[in-house]
Amino acid sequence: MTRPRITLIGAGLVGGLLATLLAQRGFRVEVFERRPDPRVAGFTGGRSINLALAERGLHALRQAGLNEAVMRQAVMMRGRMVHDRDGRTNLQRYGVDDREVIWSVSRGGLNMLLLDAAERAGASLHFGQRLLTADFAAGTIELEDPAGARRTHAAGLLLGADGAGSALRAAIDCVTPLGERVEPLGHGYKELEIPPLADFPAGTLPPALAAARARGERFALEAHALHIWPRGGYMCIALPNAEGSFTVTLFLPNTGAHPSFATVRNAAKARPFFRDDFADALELMPAFDVDYDAHPVGALATLYLDRWRLGGQALLLGDAAHAIVPFHGQGMNAGFEDAAELAPLLDAEPGDPAAVFAEFERRRRPNAEAIAAMAIENYIEMRDAVADPHFLLKRALGEALTQRAPRHFKSRYRLVSFTRVPYAYARERGRAQDALLEELLRGHASLDTLDMEAAAARVRAELPPLPADA
Ligand code: FAD
């Protein structure tokens, strides 16, 4: 069967992987990316410097034969290292052991690896080519280069992986309204840096870390954790980078009473705020003032669409279809799952893209909606609940029940991060499990007063067995 030519917009994370997966299946793939080639010009992502890769994303990378190369650049994160105001820390493991961990990867490194893979598989990549619009009746797209020169190009099957501000989405929306709704979170983020120990200016390291540096250690905090400073309505997190630094992200309300980005406007305001709330992190950021003033506040929002496609002509995926807030560390993972779902579907039915796009949307959209909701819920859990006694008690009960009834109880976080059961299933199952935990804990302030065998028996009786792949 003849295979349609693929015109893919966007060579970011999802575009890079999808181009690879389609080219590996023999599709002729051309990719148009508005930025210059990061392998030549350097990476200018504009979004987070590193991100968390979990099983869904890893599985998609395995389909392209890229998991091992990516893992060579990744840093294992075993759990959340919670920092309280007094600088005490406590590691809350994500899973039961080191088979259930997430991985911190560099966005730039991963993007460049994917571009190399796409080219190796035969995709042709065109940089400095911004999609302006599409004429679906004529089957053409309009592109603009950095000098402002425009050209019309005959398009193949159009796939939009051009991110949250997708130009292809805007073009489709002009022909078929997509029901677009963007819900801003009302909170933004700012990135800061804890450098590798070797890069601290002389005399700025606390004595214990100066000794660690002398022993040749690289990281100023525990390397194998996602660090969180939960403070109620706001928080900081930090993810490790392979060379020994951490990218710290401050999340705050955009406006309103202190603290918000409106009141913590510059380094002079931020320094006393950090001294009160994040003192142990502040002492590890020698370039705090410069970074705080130089780095922008990023916006956070969720994108909802009622439709992702235009007949058999065009389809959106990744952030172009479902941008979410980053608190479950799943935006890229969900986009990678899209790519791994679409490539075999197209491969099986290359002559009927309308049917393939409809099937893709049927499978993926409920799951995109579920992870969007869970990502917002996880913000509340991360910034408030990881330090809340009731949350910790529920978590401890969940762990005890997992040991006693492993086929009937698995935390929602583990279902999302360490399995590939559909997100919509994970959300529903999480609700049912949470309701049962609340019931079991009614009247108990500690697990000591609970009959654990009776609780496990209820779990086995009331929660159906988990799917085999969970
Ligand atoms: P993008 O990565 O945005 O790529 C889109 C590409 O299209 C870009 O290269 C862009 O230049 C190009 N483009 C845009 N417009 C045009 C145009 N008109 N013409 C041509 N090209 C165009 N996800 C996780 O899984 N784990 C995490 O830990 C995580 N952390 C995050 C932290 C933050 C602060 C943020 C903001 C996001 C985070 N995410 C995380 C989400 C993740 O970044 C996105 O889901 C992911 O980047 C989506 O990939 P994409 O390829 O769809 O879009």
Q: DSSP string covering 226-237, please? A: EEEEE-SS-EEE
∠ CA(41), CA(43), CA(48), 5° rounding?
165
Whether 198 and 309 map to the same domain: the answer is no
Q: Residue 57 CA: which ligand 1 atom is closest?
A: 25
CB atoms within 10 A of CB 94: 20
CA 212/CA 181 separation, integer angstroms: 50
Is the minimum distance from the CB of 95 to ligand 1 under 6 angstroms? Answer: no
Whether 134 and 265 map to the same domain: the answer is no
Residue 163 CA to ligand 1 centre (angstroms): 5
Give domain status of residue 83, yes or no: no
Average pLDDT in the 189-201 region?
97
Q: For the chain, what percent of residues have pLDDT higher than 90?
A: 93
pLDDT digits (tens, 9 = 90+) for 368-421: 999 999 999 999 888 876 778 898 899 999 999 999 999 999 999 999 999 999
Contact 297, 261 (CB under 8 A): yes
H helix intervals, 349-422: 353-383, 389-404, 412-418
Q: Which of 333, 341, 336 has its CA nearest to residue 416?
A: 333
Q: What pLDDT does 179 receive?
A: 98
Average pLDDT in the 39-45 region?
82
pLDDT at 41 over 90: no
pLDDT at 45 over 70: no
Of 354, 379, 404, the domain-final residue: 379
Q: Helices 13-24 and 55-63 sit at what angle, rounded to 10 degrees?
A: 30
Is the minimum distance from the CB of 10 to ligand 1 under 6 angstroms? Answer: yes
Contact 102, 226 (CB under 8 A): yes
Whether 239 and 291 map to the same domain: the answer is yes
Residue 104: pLDDT band with limits 50, 70, 90: very high
Probe residue for ligand 1, chosen from 34, 144, 227 as the CB with the greatest number of ligand atoms within 8 Å: 34
Q: Which of 389, 423, 334, 383 has its CA nearest to residue 57?
A: 334
Whether 190 and 328 map to the same domain: the answer is no
Residue 245 CA to ligand 1 centre (angstroms): 22
Q: What pLDDT does 354 receive?
A: 98
Of 277, 298, 319, the domain-final residue: 298
Range of the domain at 140: 6-75+104-183+301-379
Q: What pLDDT does 1 receive?
A: 67
End-to-end CA distance of the chain: 37
Tokens read off for 363: 């499978």
pLDDT at 54 over 70: yes
State how far the alpha carbon of 275 is from the alpha carbons of 75, 90, 266, 282, 393, in Å. 29, 20, 14, 7, 30
pLDDT at 214 over 70: yes
Residue 217 CA to ligand 1 centre (angstroms): 33
Whether 14 and 155 map to the same domain: the answer is yes
Rg (CA), the chain: 23
Is the minimum distance from the CB of 34 to ligand 1 under 6 angstroms? Answer: yes
Q: Which of 193, 213, 194 has its CA nearest to residue 203?
A: 213
The CATH code of the domain that includes 63 is 3.50.50.60
Q: Residue 249 CA: which ligand 1 atom is closest?
A: 34
CA 18/CA 341 separation, integer angstroms: 10
Average pLDDT in the 15-24 region?
98
The SS3 of residue 102 is strand
Q: What pLDDT does 268 receive?
A: 98
Whether 450 and 342 map to the same domain: the answer is no
Average pLDDT in the 176-197 region?
97
CA 388/CA 239 separation, integer angstroms: 22
pLDDT at 42 over 90: no
From start to end of 286-330, where are the E strands? Answer: 298-304, 309-310, 314-316
pLDDT at 306 over 70: yes
Tokens read off for 188: 């933004």
Ligand 1, atom 34, residue with closest C-alpha: 48
Contact 30, 6 (CB under 8 A): yes
Of 353, 379, 405, the domain-final residue: 379
Q: For the chain, what percent of residues have pLDDT higher than 70?
A: 99
pLDDT at 194 over 70: yes
pLDDT at 46 over 70: no
Probe residue for ligand 1, chosen from 18, 51, 112, 364 as the CB with the greatest number of ligand atoms within 8 Å: 51
Whether 313 and 442 map to the same domain: the answer is no
Whether 397 and 366 map to the same domain: the answer is no
Whether 116 and 179 map to the same domain: the answer is yes
Q: Which of 211, 251, 31 has its CA nearest to residue 121?
A: 31
Whether 57 and 151 map to the same domain: the answer is yes
Return mean pLDDT, the chain.
96
> Edge-to-edge strands of the sheet including 150-154?
130-135, 140-144, 150-154
Q: Global pTM? A: 0.97
Q: What pLDDT does 2 receive?
A: 80
